[in-house]
Amino acid sequence: MKKVPFNLQLFAATNVESMTNPRDSLPNVYTNVTAREVDFVTRFTDNWEALRNILGIMRPIRKAPGTQLVSYVASVTLEDGNVGAGEVIPYSKSTIEQITKGDLTIEKYAKAVPIEDVNKYGAAVAVEKSDDAFLTKLQNVVLGRFYTFLNTGALTGVASSWQAALAKAQGEVLNKFAGMQKDVTEVVGFANILDAYDYLGTADITVQTQFGITYIQNFMGYRTLFLLPASFIARGDVIAIPVENIDLYYIDPGDSEFAKLGLNYTVQGETNLLGFHAQGNYGTAVGESFALMGMALWAEYLDGIAIISVGTEAFTAVQSPASGANPAALKYYEKDANNNYFRSTDTTVAAGKTYYTRAVTYAA
């Protein structure tokens, strides 16, 4: 592990970019490649620290490479609490089932800046701007996967308006966690950015943008409401999740085991989310940059994520589902005795059971 001590004199020449302090110092102020490596990993870590605070999640959790991440659905059937003196107290039935798995793996990235670009644009542009774009892309890899994962939430429903959907989504997750006797301090939400601006109109509400993420803080009971493009959340959908249901897992790229391969990545700070190494390649006359990371934003309870759609829903029975089908993965639903539909947790098709698909017609 190549862990560089924090050198104030060295780092003073390299400003960390933020919305209030855009960077005007470029790589030509770096005294060596190590300073550039430190700057890159520090900016990445600082960005994630700020994002973690916006999300309200706790300290990142370090895991070993190959760790399997698991999501659950939980339910409790409460027995009658009116128990006579000396009688046996019946157990309430608690059921927790695994429904989604993912692997936390090391991801390797590389980019190269040819000497022709430095000759044409100067190092200030060719190196610095490509580093900025590289950093943003790495951040978006993790966020994009998390947004996709959120859309697999098991608490679904419909509402008549966008405002009603926001309220119902929050109510659903609060009710779910109360039923599991788990505390919820705050809820964060995710909505389509066009829906949000249609609703906000000329309202005097502060919309913030940081690290390419648009959000509103302290809005309608939400700690933060993230406004996402249609590629991540459909128009008409609102997603809510308690902050207690979000974890950030990571693999330390500065692990000493990697150094045994001769791979020494610069890391910075107490939480090593990213490793970065830069070098020149004389054989091809390019400046190479390598990034190593293993990060995942994850929700422990899949039925602790509510997705409420503005419109109506209809359920259709699945005719003869394939014997090898996975109802949970296919987002099939079941129906209880009160004709309430709920997401199936079956991983294999149960004989004699009827499954349903859900279709949403979004309001115009």
Model confidence pLDDT, tens digit, residues 63-92: 877 777 777 666 556 667 787 787 777 776
Share of the chain above pLDDT 90, in %: 38
What is the pLDDT at residue 77?
A: 61
Confidence of residue 15 (pLDDT cuts 50, 70, 90): very low
Query: Rounded to an integer, what distance in angstroms lies between the CA atom of residue 327 and that of residue 334?
Result: 10
Q: What is the pLDDT of residues 105-126, one digit of tens each?
A: 889 999 999 999 999 999 888 9
What pTM was computed for the model? 0.77
Which tokens go with 286?
A: 């390019």
Residue whose pair of structure tokens reads 């005795």 in the numeric block: 337
Confidence of residue 13 (pLDDT cuts 50, 70, 90): very low
Q: Which residue in 174, 192, 172 sits closest to 343, CA to CA?
A: 172
Neighbours of 3 (CB within 10 A): 12
When pLDDT is averaged across residues 320-324 and rounded to a whole number, the result is 84
Given a cut of 60, whether residue 181 has pLDDT beyond it is: yes
Asked if residues 301 and 245 have their Cβ atoms less than 8 Å apart, the reply is yes
- What is the DSSP track for 142-170? HHHHHHHHHTT-SEEEEESSHHHHHHHHH
